[in-house]
Structure 1
């Protein structure tokens, strides 16, 4: 009994200890949630590597993040690379690691979306979404995980979406790619936790980012109606909740009250959830038809 009590106390003490991240690689770090995460980590003293495709944007972002550094020797570096190309990613990270410390934190934040009715989307769009959102995440993990296993520690944060636990009308391509990130993260967590490597998966709601501004005009009418009453979170708030939860060792990270409520509600309501969604969509269609 005494031994059991000691183990419980030890677990509680470990859970209360916050992790300090010293060296982070962030994909999609030049904008949106990735940039917000980079800024917060830089302001806490971490060395940051921003990985994205646009070199010009990376250069601007590097200066922005570097200005938040709190240590003289703190580094903010950049890597211009397409995460869909594993060979190119492998070479870029090999070169980068020759001059930098191995990361104790990797955040897979690179992602794209393209809403529209299923029958209107090209097959190439589905492949594009899957290649960046899922395979991009997979490629980075494939490179990084062996080194983390060798060291016996590390944290991987994969950014999914609320569309990664709940399918949304008008997002068949995006939803599939984000469900893939969730499933991959579930399995990866089970493999890596006994080896000392933490995996977390994040389900942000609509977030105030350039990507949200891009997709808004493309959303089907029903999508806007069903989600129209929800206010997007700021990227900074999503980043803060994400890092706070990851430091506590949480696996499922759902920023914002609305997302947490929806996740729990689905567990309670089961199939009735879809009855409610059907009603909302039918209501939206009637409204759309009345405007024609």
Structure 2
């Protein structure tokens, strides 16, 4: 009887603790309550952050807009957004350490990056609300904050203008960010082209040398690019996953030609050779 009573008491205590313990969602990372981190550094390299609510962002001035660029890439029609100007947001900060780009860290380990020159040139916006057209399905990653190209602007058709699910905007210097990769890219014109294609379409999911996101596999670990058979497998795997009917709306095939993809393989081969030295 004593054992039974002790057992019941133990069960009751566990149950009570479970009920009283704070839920994981209540101590979530930044962004769970519509709060986003904006990170800068001063001339001495000291890093500091501000936290912006969705309401504070919208106080910059909300614009209801569409984006034919977005709809084209996502195979949608009539998507509606509420958005704020990235130019207005940037104007709120004094960039004292030479920052010329914004790194976009996302909840799903995707990592985008936008040069400030592109934000100025194409008047890019930051979507705070999205409503897809009737009958369209929305993948789990397609959430604010998201980069938007306004109608009337025509940047290159590339993955880098479609970053979504953003939790942090971090001001960085492009020269520092790409430094670990750029040296390898100077090997040949083909490798240089592969680097450009990779950084504009692939690096956001497939990181290299500590740069980029970790949403996708690490390609240098999965393929021996010195072997023709493995290069062929890489091309086939890309086509089988990143095609236009991809269930998760990750159609990267629309942004790259077969020749460009081959140059990406050459760039990744150069990266592997460099690692072996």
TM-score (norm 1): 0.26
Comparing both structures, which one devotes a greater share of its residues to helix?
1
| The structure with more radius of gyration | 2
Give 1 or 2: higher strand fraction.
Answer: 2
TM-score by length of 2: 0.26
